Amino acid sequence: MNLLWEVVCITALAGMGGTGLGGLVSCLFKKDSSRTVSLLLSFAGGVMTAVVCFDLLSEAVAPEGIVNHTNLALAVMGVMLGYVVIYLLNAWIDRDTNHEMAHIDESHPKTADSLEELIHADHYQIHEQGGQSHGSLFLAGLVMAAAIALHNVPEGMVIGASFATAAQQAVLSRGGIVMAVVIGLHNVPEGMAVAVPLISGGMKKLKAAALTVITGAPTVLGAILGLYLGTMGPAMLSLSLSFASGAMLYVVFGELMPEAILMWRSKLPALATVIGILTGLVIIYA
């Protein structure tokens, strides 16, 4: 099978299949499932932290087991670039939507403290419940889709760049498949994060579950981008891996972890994060 189609098919299974499974699982939950989702998001954040620290960054800095100082500089630059780009895009979306939310004020946390805020489903629900025009509702839906895409595109880049690494080293694409498994595991609670607020807002469960499958589509676009950049040469591969790492670090530490802790002020989310890190470690090196 052509490498591109292999990447597309595997990423679609991990991205759309993972989020879709999360959407189906959320249909079984009660509306008030903050504690469960908090633990699952913390676990997902731990898994992705392990992937970034134990696999992606080490591969970006030392692709053949030997530290390359040029790659080290590229990795540092790529991580910062990925972090800043996703941060600025999120800040742009927040600026254009938060003013419509009555509960957003000076004393409100500077990060999301509910699933609705994380994907801007609250913004979509206000437009839907307000009986506004189809055009306005469509734009609100696009905003929500953009917020979700900012999470999923970097995940796809991780998979694509991992396949590119295998292609450059002329080895089996086990690394890409492992990344797809890890991303798929990570996407289950993210799928729940999409479906739960939609169901809570009154959307039918099956429709919400179907939408979670669609929200996984940007993962495929990210995978194509990661594969394309990664096969352009060692320097671009290092930059691609580190950019995806920086983007994922923002998603984990700038959104998932703060939100998980605000959803359930307990010590258990921290434990779930540690378990996630260990799980990622086992998956990578087993």
Greater confidence, 262 or 129?
Answer: 262
Split at pLDDT 50, 70, 90, the class of 215 is: confident
| Euclidean distance between CA atoms 282 and 264, whole angstroms | 27
Residue 149 identity: A
Nearest CA among 166, 100, 153, 105 for reference residue 128:
100
**Structure confidence by residue, pLDDT tens digits, 248-263:** 999 899 888 888 888 8
What pLDDT, on a 0 to 100 scale, did the predictor assign at position 198?
78
What pLDDT, on a 0 to 100 scale, did the predictor assign at position 4?
85
What pLDDT, on a 0 to 100 scale, did the predictor assign at position 83?
95
What pLDDT, on a 0 to 100 scale, did the predictor assign at position 30?
60
What pLDDT, on a 0 to 100 scale, did the predictor assign at position 29?
67
Containing structural domain, residue 7: 3-63+72-285
Across residues 15-37, what is the average pLDDT? 80
Across residues 135-140, what is the average pLDDT? 71
pTM score of the predicted model? 0.83
What pLDDT, on a 0 to 100 scale, did the predictor assign at position 31?
56
What pLDDT, on a 0 to 100 scale, did the predictor assign at position 111?
66
What pLDDT, on a 0 to 100 scale, did the predictor assign at position 276?
93
Nearest CA among 35, 8, 40 for reference residue 22:
40
> How many domains, the chain?
1
Greater confidence, 166 or 7?
Answer: 7
51 token code pair: 């992937």
